[in-house]
Structures are given as structure tokens and as C-alpha cells.
Amino acid sequence: MEVWGSATNPPSGPINVLDYLRSISGRQTVIGMHNREPNSSPAVQTNAVYSITNRWPGLWSGDFLFTADDVNNRWTMINEALNQWRSGSIINIMLHVVPPTQSEPGNWNGGVVSRLSDAQWHELITDGGTLNRAWKIRLDNYAQYLQYLKDRGVQVLFRPFHEMNQGVFWWAGRPGSSGTAALFRLTRDYLVNTKGLTNLIWVWNMQDLDLNWSVYNPGNNYWDIFSLDVYNGDGFTTQKYNTAMSVASGKPIAIGECSTLPTSYQLASQQNWVFVMSWAELTFSSNTNAQIQALYSASNVITKDELPKFY
């Protein structure tokens, strides 16, 4: 029997990221920070929170993104992910990208925020379809960056489809097995089985628009962590927490994004959130410095200096 350590009593040797997150569930929560545009400066918000707290977030997050400048700086973002990993951070990477009906780079409005017709969607999720082939070519491009990280031993929390129930995005808002969940399955199968990216820890992500999340489940064999983006004004309710626990069926749960941070007391009453990641600049507009400092110094919150060594 193996006994996992806590943040104050870390494992004696290197540990897998997913195993570590499982080990702290019910006791402690890793604090994370997303770094939004620009990819040319991919640690700007992480550095900002350090200037306030004198502590580094335990999780660093970046995004492939879609504008010309950000696409041109994807290697800058990936190299920052490598640097963050080597300095001890957990790595999270997202895909806010334009649909396969368009070429990269692209735009937010009419690109990331757009909708495919039902016929286009069917073509996308049907093996051999024109859009299906276009998406796999796009995945070939993304895979080179993720392979670079794999070759250097980096494990990546990978969230390809942000807020799968948020219908403003081209990939989202399609419930049922042949909806957004089908694109998740297609993407995972291709990146893992065809491209061999076994360094990815797959994150299924929903937003607190409602509680009907199970209709977007890609299948329990397709994801490792369930994450919830908390933006509604009612915040971190017990009902959301209990629903997350229910749909996760024993797998780790996390706060994928938030603007207003939870307090350490809220995390103490909802102990199974394994990480909480605040959204870039919203961290500073939605929380006072004192609130940020209090959370980062809480005993049940894990910052980078308290993480174990990962292999």
C-alpha cells in the first residue's frame, strides 16, 4: 500500500500529477492562474499575482489562442509551459481556436464565437468527412507542440473544449452523444491513439449556466478530471459542488475558472476541489489584494513551493 503525503508532508519521491491531485482530494486545493493574451508574454498574470502575494501559483495555464500575434507566439507559450514545469508548476493548456471551416489565424467574433450548421457538425464528427479531415490536420499542428512537451517529460492538464455547455462557442452547446461530446471523443482518440500523446491529462469542462451537465459527458473513459467554471453570481454553492461530485463518479473535480475567488473557508467545506484556477485579469478586478493574499496563505491551499516533485 502506498501512502501519499500532503502539501506539508509531501511524497518522498517524484509523483505523477494525476495521482497527486487524487491524493489531495478531500484535504487541500492547488491554486492556479490562467495567463490570457498575449502569448508573447505568457506569464504576465502569474507574475502579477506573485507581486501581490510573494507566492507563486501551483498551477500555470496557457492557451493556443487564435489571433495572428498569438498564433505566431505559440512556441513562446509552449516554452513558458516548459519553464513553469521545470520550476515545479502543474501545467494546464487550453484551445480557444477557430473552427475547421476557417483557416488560422482568425477572430473572436465570427471565429471562436460562431456556430456550425447541423450539416457541418455531422461532417466534422463523421470519420472521413471534409471537416473531419480538416480538424485532424489542425490537430496535427497542435500535436507538434504537445509532443515537444512530452519529449521533455511535461504532463499537461489538457482542456480542449472550454465550457462545453456554453453555446456561444462553435464547439459547444450541443448536448447528447453526437454533440460536443462526440468532438471531445474524436479529439482524444486522435491525439492519444494516432499521435501518441500519452502525457495529456484530459479535463472535461462545464460552466455553471445550469446543473444539467451529464448530457455533455464524453464518456467516463475519455476524461480524467471534471472541472466547473464558476461565474454565476450565486458563486460556490453546495448544490454545484454536490452535482460536480455526482457527475464525476469518484474522479477528481476542480474549479476550472472563476473570477471571484473562493475563500479558504468555502474550500474547507467543499474539500474535493483539487485545484481552483482564477481567470487572468479578472483575478485582480474581482478580488482585493487582501482577499488574494488570504487565499494564497491559507493552510488548505497549495502554492508552487508546497508541491512535490513530479515525474
Report, as residue numbers or ranges, the catalytic residues. 163, 257
- Return the beta strands (E) in 40-163 as ranges: 59-63, 90-94, 156-159
Which residues, at least 6 apart from 305, have a Cβ–Cβ distance to it below 8 Å?
A: 55, 56, 88
- Specify which residues 203 forms β-bridges with: 225
Q: What is the largest CA-CA distance in the chain?
A: 54
d(CA 74, CA 143): 12
Half-sphere exposure of 258 (CA within 13 A, CB side): 22
From the list 179, 167, 30, the residue with the least C-alpha distance to 91 is 30
Q: How many CB atoms lie within 10 A of CB 3?
A: 8
For 151, the enclosing helix (H) or strand (E) is helix 130-151
Scanning the structure block, which residue is given the C-alpha cell 488574494? Answer: 292
Exposure class string for 83-103: b at 16+ Cβ within 10 A, else e: ebbeebbbbbbbbbbbbbbbe
Q: Counting Cβ atoms within 10 Å, is residue 291 exposed (0-12), middle (13-18) or buried (19+)?
A: middle
